[in-house]
Chain A
Amino acid sequence: MFDYTKKESITYKFSWDQLGDIAIGRENLGAQMPVTVYRLLEYCIKEVLEEDYGKEQMHRIFQKAGIIAGRELAHNLLDLSVDIHTFFGQLQDVLKNMQVGILRVEKIDESTGTIYVTVAEDLDCSGLPVTGETVCFYDEGLIKGVLDTYTNCSYTVEEIDCWSTGARVCRFRANKEA
């Protein structure tokens, strides 16, 4: 007899294998899709979240989702045993290959732990109308998730320039939390 109680008690928890086998599932269409589709999903959800929970909560939810994505990406696609410069080198390759954006390191201050990176041609925002407000909350979370996982420390990541604020690249500052 099917146990409905058990089925209802399952709580969703993301893991990498839940991305599925895309090669089998999209035998003809392949692993790629237009950026438009991604943004359609993202910004429709954004509208719903902002409408239902307010801007601040929407911001928090996107960032939290980014943290999970960054953590899983680091565990599954990155070598965590290398030095920090090499680590960013491979993160750069991964983000470029996945067409998320072109990651560039501006500065790594190993004494304070402060890191400046930019993402050009960002999947989330490049080409958006300039509104004067940053929009890459998911990216903030993703970078935090990657850094937290690599360093075993907690980082605060803030987007300080964004395409939608008029910059041509998204610029992020990561500070190690005390």
Chain B
Amino acid sequence: MNEKEKLLIFIDYITHEYGGEQVDTDDFHDEYREIAIALNHLSAALHEAMSFAAAIAAGDLDVEAPSRENLLCGPFRALRSSLSHLTWQSQRVAAGDYSQQVDFMGEFSDAFNNMIRQLELREQQLVEVTRQETLRAQEMKDNNELLMYITDRIEDWIIVIDSISHDALFLNSAAQHGIRDYELDLDRTCQTLYSDRRTPHTKSWDISLTGKSRYDFSVSKFQMQWKGTSSYLYILQDITQQNEKIREMELLAYRDPATKLYNRRYCLQLLDSMLQCRVPFTLCFIDLNNLKMINDVYGHTAGDEYILLVANTLTNMLRRDDVICRFGGDEMIAILHYCDAGLARKHMQRIQDALFTTGSEHSRNYSISYGIIENKNTFSSSRALLDEADRRMYAFKQNFKQEHSL
């Protein structure tokens, strides 16, 4: 192989494998030796440049640059500088410096700068959203504080119950004091509230809770999230006193103040209602014998004692469900449920016997006359029913007088 062929092979090696190796210049003579020396320089410089480029391509921007004499490395130095600068710019962008702009890398510059603009825009949007959310959170906090302030100052009880565990999550001040003062058991109260749901859509109803006494409440229910927990909020309005007043008013409206028996108004309303609904019952029309005589001879106090005695005897000897009314001055009516006329008559006779044996100084004068009607839906009005009962009572009285020579 001659020197020219050797140099051509070396050039081919440099071209395809980016140099690195050297030829022995002693193998060449004259002008070929000069070419060999130059090619050795080229091989070294190209190898150095390509190694430098490969390191940059692999991301090693801190790689030591070849000497300045290697001019082949010039563009790679510029590239390394650009990439280093881009790295710094990216770090600045990551730190929130959106003023960074790339203006030296063509299409990449446009993409990078657009990315910065988008990032800045999104950050501005996020900042705005954060600002609004912060404001909203503050508003909610303020509203919540206001709500808690109001909640703790209203008289109604507010109880929040976990919808799964049924534990109490919150009680306002009124509920805390009420449960303590009424001696209610909190767990039982929560259980009562939660289980007394009526229908799923019922949002308001009345309940009674028993502590040291029995207390009535009007309950309203709301579903809500309490600090992230699915819950029910119950508002309890204490209607115990209100119900008490209603009962008092009912007493005044429907009770006879002297005997505490139902009065005439109640009696007539009840009879009309029962007749209308065709409820079976037996009516006893009762008249107190000798009341006028006792009032005249022994005074009205004795007369009042007589009336009270009969009222109490009827109350004590009839069943709890039977209704006893004072219908007039010396007239009383007993409405007996699930009781036929025969049984009613036995009840009346027992009462008659009891009156005779009260032991009172006037007991010899105590007796009743009564008319009994078993309602079999033959009366269309209470008036007709009472007229017939009165007639039968009167007949009873006549017989009674004859029998007892009154």
CA A58 to CA B29, docked complex, whole Å: 45
Known: A167-B74, A167-B78. A118 touches B68 (CB 8 A): no
Check A107–B97 contact: CB distance below 8 A. no
Check B77–A106 contact: CB distance below 8 A. no
Interface band, chain A: 20 to 34
Check A161–B68 contact: CB distance below 8 A. yes
Check B85–A118 contact: CB distance below 8 A. yes
CA A161 to CA B71, docked complex, whole Å: 11
Among A102, A105, A108, A161, contact of B104 (Cβ-Cβ < 8 Å): A102
Tell me which residues from 76 to 116 in chain A have a Cβ below 8 Å from any Cβ of chain B: 85-86, 89, 102, 104-108, 116
What chain A residues lie within 8 Å of B81 (beta carbons)? Answer: 104, 106, 118, 120, 161, 169, 171
Known: A118-B85, A132-B69. A169 touches B95 (CB 8 A): no
What chain B residues lie within 8 Å of A89 (beta carbons)? Answer: 92, 97, 99-100
Known: A89-B99, A165-B68. A104 touches B75 (CB 8 A): no
Tell me which residues from 334 to 362 in chain B have a Cβ below 8 Å from any Cβ of chain A: none
What chain A residues lie within 8 Å of B68 (beta carbons)? Answer: 132, 161-162, 165-167
What chain A residues lie within 8 Å of B75 (beta carbons)? Answer: 168
Min CB distance B90 to A, Å, is 12
Q: Confirm or deny: B259 has a beta carbon within 8 angstroms of a beta carbon on chain A.
A: no
Check A161–B97 contact: CB distance below 8 A. no
Check B71–A104 contact: CB distance below 8 A. no
Q: Confirm or deny: B189 has a beta carbon within 8 angstroms of a beta carbon on chain A.
A: no
Q: Confirm or deny: A45 has a beta carbon within 8 angstroms of a beta carbon on chain B.
A: no
Q: Confirm or deny: A130 has a beta carbon within 8 angstroms of a beta carbon on chain B.
A: yes
What chain B residues lie within 8 Å of A161 (beta carbons)? Answer: 65, 68, 77, 81
What chain A residues lie within 8 Å of B97 (beta carbons)? Answer: 85-86, 89
CA A149 to CA B337, docked complex, whole Å: 112
CA A116 to CA B77, docked complex, whole Å: 13
Q: Which residue of A lies closest to B97 (CB)?
A: A85
Number of B residues, CB within 8 Å of A: 24
Check A107–B84 contact: CB distance below 8 A. yes
Tell me which residues from 30 to 63 in chain A have a Cβ below 8 Å from any Cβ of chain B: none
CA A116 to CA B65, docked complex, whole Å: 14
CA A102 to CA B77, docked complex, whole Å: 16
What chain A residues lie within 8 Å of B95 (beta carbons)? Answer: 85
Tell me which residues from 112 to 157 in chain A have a Cβ below 8 Å from any Cβ of chain B: 116, 118, 120, 130, 132
What chain A residues lie within 8 Å of B100 (beta carbons)? Answer: 89
What chain A residues lie within 8 Å of B104 (beta carbons)? Answer: 102, 104, 120
Q: Confirm or deny: B229 has a beta carbon within 8 angstroms of a beta carbon on chain A.
A: no
Check A169–B78 contact: CB distance below 8 A. yes
Min CB distance B89 to A, Å, is 8
Q: Which residue of B lies closest to A108 (CB)?
A: B88
What chain B residues lie within 8 Å of A167 (beta carbons)? Answer: 68, 73-74, 77-78
What chain B residues lie within 8 Å of A102 (beta carbons)? Answer: 103-104
Q: Confirm or deny: B82 has a beta carbon within 8 angstroms of a beta carbon on chain A.
A: yes
Given contacts A89-B92, A167-B73, A171-B77, 9 further A-B contacts (CB under 8 A): A85-B92, A85-B97, A89-B99, A104-B81, A104-B88, A107-B84, A118-B81, A120-B104, A161-B68
7 sampled A-B residue pairs with Cβ under 8 A: A89-B97, A105-B89, A106-B87, A167-B77, A169-B77, A169-B81, A171-B77
Residues of B within 8 A of A (CB): 65, 68-71, 73-75, 77-78, 81-82, 84-85, 87-89, 92, 95, 97, 99-100, 103-104
